[in-house]
Chain A
Amino acid sequence: MNRDYTPAELMVAAAAREIRDGEVVFVGMRLPLLAFCLARSTHAPTAVGLFENGVIRDSPALSFLVTMSDGPNVTGAVWCTEMREVMGLMQAGRVTLGFIGGAQVDRFGNLNTTYVGRPGQAVRLPGSGGAPDIASLARRHVVIMAHERRRFVERVDYVTSPGHGTGGDWRQRTGLPGGGPSAVITTLGLFRFDPTTREMVLATIHPAATIGEIRAETGWTLRLADGLGETPPPTAQELAMIRRFDPDGFWTGARR
């Protein structure tokens, strides 16, 4: 087993495995950008990536990207268009998977990237970007974020991007067309959602984490999946690919 990887590299590998071959993926910034490049270069050679600026690609970017609008993400694209076109495709149900990140998440996968704290005394975060659109409209979406107790709360202070609301059939009752979050990938583990209650459930633990640590960093009584397993670490091939797309560890952190 290769333990010579950073937590972010493990998260990128786990995120890439959520992408099935042939999927149409709404790619976010940072780690999901790398996950799409990795999946496209390994097990999902026919996946297509949509970016909210209007880029559609069917190949990984030519080189390292800081933003989705960097030159190497444009050269060789199959379509460069307007935002309304890619958002419209997603609203019409043509996007099977989207990725988003968050500052705060709750037990039903609702995300907050707007205000943390009580109104009037809140810390202001940058805001929503396209995350609520992905969370509303993609057929399913995956959340990627750091796992800390202040971020994993019983109920988010502000719902920027809808998860499963208050659970159960909340999304259908609310009229949201997308299926909601299917997984949450954190620095400590991978979580899925109970098919009936829609509560977040720990599915696999990352190799360096423990259940005790995950419980301590989660602000509600966490349920464990039957057959709880370990998150497979990135393979040598996956690591080589991640390091090709992020050669200096800008997004995936310092390496030993």
Chain B
Amino acid sequence: MSKVAPLGEALRRHVPDGASVAMGTALECLIPFAAAHELIRQGRRDLTLVGPISDICFEHLIAAGCVRKVVAAWVGNVQHGAGYAFRRALEQGVPHSLEIEDHSNFSIALALEAAGQGVPYLPTRSLLGTDLLARNPRLRTAPCPFTGIPLVLVPALAPDVAILHVQRADPEGNCHAWGPTGISAAAGKAARTVIIVAEELVEPAVIRSDPNRTLLPGFRVTAVVHQPLGAHPSPVQGHYNRDHAMYADWHAHSTTAESAVAWLDEWVRDPGDHIGYVAKLGRGRLDRLRPRTRQLAAPVDYGC
């Protein structure tokens, strides 16, 4: 059964106001910016964003007023440090107040992993003695029942939706991702609804030709969106490199709430949709992001 849907329709159907949404789960690559921008265009409200380091994807959504709460390890602009929109929301309530649940990268990974495995929590030896532990009432400590050593218990976190960008998917949602994947598989296992955004829509046989490359099986996937350049300005291995200038541009324009909104108007709302955004980027800019060399993997033999 084909689950293929246009981006706008998939988000309208599966990401209601108030939903908790895992995005940017591969850290600095494969960030579903096209989906974040479409949520901004659709005027989504009161989202809870879940992620490790989701770079300026979370900045855009916060500046646009889509977000009520963030559950994350780090929010900002990886290339430049500070996230001005995040700071304005937390310190001044602009455009409105924001709640933060602080995690480390490992604890957010374990929270999703626990939900994906169907256990109430997973233990770790990280974070002992920190204020992340002291000030997050959801994280608890307990002695190991076998050895007595102190452990931090990270409770399971099951987001309503995970939006995952991948290189290729078939119409059922079986999908391949390569390069580092961070906590994408954990988010895909944990979430109630999974939306896959793919650079390429391929025949089922392509996925089955290399099953070790599969990020998630199709039965965990609700909708498949075919959206080339859907992770721009973040990199997608084998398709395009990171567009550093876009992050510098956001850094320069997000210093005030007004200029941040003006930037979002120019780059997100005014282009109308992702096709308009890509057209505004222009062919020359996109050509400069294309990989200069091909680096094909050696074939593997799945024969029997």
Contacts and interface: CB of A to CB of B under 8 A. Distances in A.
Interface in B237-269: 237, 241-242, 244, 247
Contacts of A174: 128-129, 150
A69 B125 contact: no
Nearest to A131: B104
A161 B180 contact: no
Interface string A80-122: 1111100100010000000000000000000000100000001
Interface in B115-162: 124-132, 149-151
B109 interface: yes
A187 interface: no
Contacts of A124: 86-87, 90-91
Contacts of B131: 114, 158-160
B73 interface: yes
Contact of A53 (B28, B124, B151, B241): B28
- Main secondary structure on chain A at its contact with chain B? loop
A67 to B, nearest CB: 4
A8 interface: no
Contacts of B27: 52-53, 67-69, 83
Interface string A58-79: 0000000011111100111000
B78 interface: yes
A136 interface: yes
A183 interface: no
Nearest to A55: B180
Contacts of A51: 180
B81 interface: yes
Interface string B58-88: 0000000000000011111011011100110
Contacts of B107: 133
Interface stretch (B42-50, B182-190, B191-199): B182-190
A219 interface: no
Interface string A193-228: 000000000000000000000000000000000000
Contacts of B129: 159, 162, 165, 170-171, 174, 176
B53 interface: yes
Sorted nearest first, the 4 A-B pairs with minimum C-beta distance are: A126-B76, A175-B150, A69-B28, A54-B180
Interface of A: 29, 51-55, 66-71, 74-76, 80-84, 87, 91, 114, 122-133, 136-137, 158-162, 165, 170-171, 174-177
Given A69-B235, A159-B129, 10 more contacts: A71-B237, A82-B180, A114-B132, A122-B91, A126-B82, A127-B74, A127-B76, A128-B102, A133-B104, A176-B129
